[in-house]
Amino acid sequence: MSSPLRLGIAGLGTVGVGLVRIIQRNADLLALRAGRPIEITAVCARSRTRNRGVDISGYAWEDDPVTLVRRDDVDLVVELMGGENGPAKALTEAAIAAGKDVVTANKALLAMHGLDLARAAEEAGVALRFEAAVAGGIPVIKALSEGLAGNRISCVKGVMNGTCNYILTRMEDAGLPYETVFEEANQLGYLEADPTLDVGGIDAAHKLTLLSAIAFGVQPDFDAITTTGIERISIEDIRAAADLRLRIKLLGVARLSGRGLEQSMSPCLVPADSPLGQLKGGTNMVVIEGDAIEQVILRGPGAGEGPTASAVIGDIIDIARGLRLPVFGQPVATLQPAVSARATAAKPWYLRMTLLDKPGALAKVAEALGNAGVSINRMRQYGHEDTRAPVVIITHKTTRDAIDHAASLALATGVLVGEPVAMAIEAD
């Protein structure tokens, strides 16, 4: 058997501890599958004295991540600190410069700096792998870059943030308002230190950035994704969707059209009996459409110690086997800037508006929609709140531009309380 692959792990949080557990527990199995032993030689984290529930006494300790990288007994650096800049970026750049392979779970780092890091890794002849950065334990990066490499991908979509999916399904199952479930998720430790990363759709948009780069051979461009969070989803939206046999999901969609690459991360409605509609709790799902495979659905745990650490160890084993792949599935020089396109495909839309309860208000809204070219398919009114009348409208198929125009015209009538909530209805 070959010489051991020696790891330096930076970051001993949930995922880092999970990785240590797997390596300690399954050392013999990993050696058989990798063709060589996989050993941890050094670690780095914020606190040396914290009780993490695993024995790290046999590993060298470094206070500085860059010093960890420069150790002679570290062949591969595992970056599990997180953050798009700061120590994580410094460590990754230092590892590549030192000619050492890197495995990371850091979607923000790669979404914002992936092109430069990929170029540097290619020039240095080292691997930069990031399976754990997207959808936790689901091997979607490997699926796109290896198993489905013979396909021209036309669409990648899915639920990529388990926290948002937990909040939305919990609201429906328990009949609780958003604010209550948000606080519950926070108490359970499901939310990032900055909750906006989760509920604002930013975390999921980072992931979609990486999937788009591999699927469509484009340069990763986070700013090209239209991102809307779930903060404005109310229990009334949840109930109205259920009445219509639909469910609300924070859905990422990257679709290649004749005009370019459409990319969005936003709340959408999907059929309740569809695979996406049946997705509960923190589970993730990615749907891939290609010219040869038609459609592939990947489903699994989107976060957590075991699933994410499992994805990390999968990358480590590939590197131990000698597998070297371009970071985004093809040489950096061939990645093209994406031609961004606004979604033009016509689809039904859900509109929730709160009207002033006075004569002629609904007629004015209907006229505004008609003037924007938006046709009403169904309409429901859900009781009254003092002087307010909530109304839900389902449109016939129309475009995002028409919906935006209709919303602005409706606001201009002066009969609305607050801005309309608009969500596309996506076929699964």
Domains annotated for the chain, with CATH where assigned, are 5-133 (3.40.50.720), 146-301 (3.30.360.10), 349-424 (3.30.70.260)
Q: How many residues does the chain have?
A: 428
> What mean pLDDT do residues 180-199 have?
89
Tell me what the mean pLDDT of segment 146-159 comes to.
Answer: 96
pLDDT of 204 > 60? The answer is yes
pTM score, two decimals? Answer: 0.93
Q: Residue range 330-359: average pLDDT?
A: 89
SS3 of residue 32 by DSSP: helix
Residue 364, strand partner residues? none
**Would you state the pLDDT for residue 427?**
78
pLDDT tens digit string along 228-275?
999 999 999 999 999 999 999 999 999 998 888 999 999 999 999 999
- Tell me: pLDDT of 342 over 80: no
Q: Which residues are catalytic?
A: 207
Residue range 399-419: average pLDDT? 93
What does 223-245 look like in DSSP terms, one character per residue?
A: GGSEE--STT--HHHHHHHHHTT
| 295 contacts 179 by C-beta, under 8 angstroms | no
94-100: average pLDDT:
98
What the block records as the tokens of 75 is 């062949």
Residues 5-22: pLDDT tens digits?
A: 999 999 999 999 999 999
Share of the chain above pLDDT 70, in %: 99
Please tell me the distance from the alpha carbon of residue 150 to that of residue 311, in angstroms, as a whole number. 23
Which structure tokens are listed for 386?
């003092």
DSSP code per residue over 269-307:
EEETTSTTTT--TTEEEEEEEETTTEEEEEEEE-SSHHH
**What pLDDT is attached to residue 428?**
65
Q: Which helix (H) or strand (E) holds 337?
A: none
pLDDT at 385 over 80: no
Report, as an integer, the average pLDDT of 327-340.
Answer: 94
Q: Provide the pLDDT confidence category of residue 1 given band limits of 50, 70 and 90.
A: low
Judged against a pLDDT cut of 70, whether residue 302 lies above it is answered with: yes
Give the E-state strand segments of 46-197 in sequence order. Answer: 60-62, 76-79, 101-104, 128-129, 153-159
Q: What number is the average pLDDT over the span 104-108?
A: 97
Q: What is the mean pLDDT of the chain?
A: 94
Asked whether the beta carbons of 375 and 398 are under 8 A apart, the reply is yes
Question: Model confidence over 6-63: pLDDT tens digits?
Answer: 999 999 999 999 999 999 999 999 999 999 999 999 999 998 889 999 999 999 999 9
Q: Which helix (H) or strand (E) holds 28?
A: helix 27-34
pLDDT for 65-90, tens place per residue?
A: 999 999 999 999 999 999 999 999 99
Beta bridge partners of 129: 103
